[in-house]
Structure 1
């Protein structure tokens, strides 16, 4: 029900023609001529002057037309195309000439969508897009198609459905620019005979079912976890290679191994004191006992040294 309502609103919006702005000039001429004719007729006490003035005012007001800067008026003479008029002031022959169409030649934005359309991999999607177009030939737009606004809207919608049916979902989500270009080319081919040129097409949103969204989210999460594990494994390999290289260096140089052992002890004791239990083999290999004995001897007070002497 909601989708049907949205579709009906879109159709009504497309069919709603923009009426030309009313200009005060014809009405002003009508009132001036009527006022002059009425004043002169009353002074002469002649009702025919008043009636003639009213008819003249009506004809003059109907013959004077004003088109806006962005408009073109299609003039038909006795039902046949005569000319394009405007923008600005122009005149027609009342009763003989008519102006049934006022063509807006500005760029127009039209929204359109494709609801529950299957992609190439059979996934139902709802796609919303915006079409930017303009009338470059007012004569063709008025004479070649009954309602060029509605025709452009339906041509855009059918082209969108056609493109969706030939595109995979992944391509649609990742390559919107390609779809925009393809849509623009397809719609432009259909609207050129109507005097309409397509400036651009932009896809606003692609809506997929909620169940598929959850599945895609889980797939993306699993892919991120896989990449994280690959990166972690690569880091472990680099660390292991570094350890192997360091072990080779320590194996070739006993002094380097002793310096590394002392550095480990220093790093463990530099922040806060504590008791460290060192294997005897490691202490003998590094000369740790002699170093600690010398350090403790230097740390004793001078008085204690004199007593021992």
Structure 2
């Protein structure tokens, strides 16, 4: 958390000041009536001065902080972490620099890409102060400066890329942004660790058009795959026909197997082209099957003591 009070008074200094004030009051009470009031006043004034010195001179910086100390307006040095002392009135702590990794969100709204498409881009920046002296003396407000530097760099990168490159090239965009922002912030003693694009928002109409384009592309690929499958099937049939070309016995056996597979299912209806009947003698084969079925029916009726009616 950033400190806004440059003359931060730590709890330790406040505690010492309170102890000295209590001691001054108790001493004044004990000395009342025993010594002159002038000496009592001098004692209380001295204790008040000592307590004020501790209150103003004692400073404490956290483990992750550096305090920038100026003496009469000139840079004196960096102090901390831990307890350090300053000279009241002459010294001043101008800034408390946080050395932890900081996170800054930034965005670019309605920024035109290289192909003139307006986009909204949200990103987050991870950075750290590596030189507290430069961060305090080279720029007025390094937090605001890095935020604006990141935003302008994002707009610049978007203007150099097309929409397609932005959508599919986030990793490259992150790297380019990091290099550009780091180049601008290095003189301030700030190093950019990483930049991550969180979201890219495009106009609603363009989003619908891209959705339709993607759907049409998927349908085109499906039709291409279906055509390739038909071609492979036709090629397989052509190879199979070569096996039956000069072997009529194999062709008849295959025809009988196909007919058997169709008739063995109950209630199946098999439609055979007339050309197939002529070329593969399926007519005689069908008659033989029908005669066999009729004889099997007569034998069953005879076994049951019934007679098959004459046609």
TM-score of the pair, normalised by structure 2: 0.86
Partner of 1:27: 14
CA distance in 2, matches of 1:164, 1:85: 42
Rg comparison, structure with higher value: 2
- Which sits farther off after the overlay, 199-208 or 254-263? 254-263
CA distance in 2, matches of 1:58, 1:300: 129
CA distance in 1, matches of 2:249, 2:224: 37
Equivalent residues of 2:97, 2:132 under 8 A apart: yes
Equivalent residues of 1:63, 1:94 under 8 A apart: yes
* Aligned ranges 1:26-65 → 2 under 5 Å: 26-45=13-32, 46-65=40-59
- Which sits farther off after the overlay, 281-290 or 115-124? 281-290
The DSSP-based 3-state class of the residue aligned with 2:87 is coil
- 1:240 matches 2:238: no
- 1:94 matches 2:88: yes
The DSSP-based 3-state class of the residue aligned with 2:245 is helix
CA distance in 1, matches of 2:11, 2:263: 96
Equivalent residues of 2:115, 2:163 under 8 A apart: yes
Residues matched between the structures, number: 293
Q: 1:75 aligns with which of 69, 73, 82?
A: 69
Deviation at 1:288, TM superposition (A): 4.5
Which consecutive aligned stretches of 4+ in structure 1 deviate over 3 angstroms post-superposition?
Answer: 16-23, 273-305
Deviation at 1:276, TM superposition (A): 4.3
Partner of 2:309: none
The DSSP-based 3-state class of the residue aligned with 1:252 is coil
CA distance in 2, matches of 1:80, 1:51: 32
Q: 2:136 aligns with which of 142, 159, 162?
A: 142
| Residues 193/276 of structure 1: CA separation in 2 closer, same or farther (3 Å cut) | closer
- Which sits farther off after the overlay, 94-103 or 172-181? 94-103
Equivalent residues of 1:38, 1:49 under 8 A apart: no
Deviation at 1:69, TM superposition (A): 0.8
Deviation at 1:272, TM superposition (A): 1.9
Partner of 2:36: none
CA distance in 2, matches of 1:165, 1:275: 70
In structure 2, stretches of 5+ residues that fail to align are: 33-39, 304-311
CA distance in 2, matches of 1:302, 1:230: 56
| Residues 303/57 of structure 1: CA separation in 2 closer, same or farther (3 Å cut) | closer
Deviation at 1:267, TM superposition (A): 2.7
Deviation at 1:191, TM superposition (A): 0.3
Deviation at 1:250, TM superposition (A): 2.3
Q: How big is each residue's C-alpha offset from its partner over 1:64-106, in whole Å with a ceiling of 9 and x where there is no partner? A: 1111111111111111111111111111111111112000110
Q: How big is each residue's C-alpha offset from its partner over 1:147-167, in whole Å with a ceiling of 9 and x where there is no partner? A: 000110111111111111100
Equivalent residues of 2:65, 2:81 under 8 A apart: yes
TM-score of the pair, normalised by structure 1: 0.86
Q: 1:189 aligns with which of 183, 186, 197?
A: 183
The DSSP-based 3-state class of the residue aligned with 1:149 is helix
- 1:217 matches 2:204: no
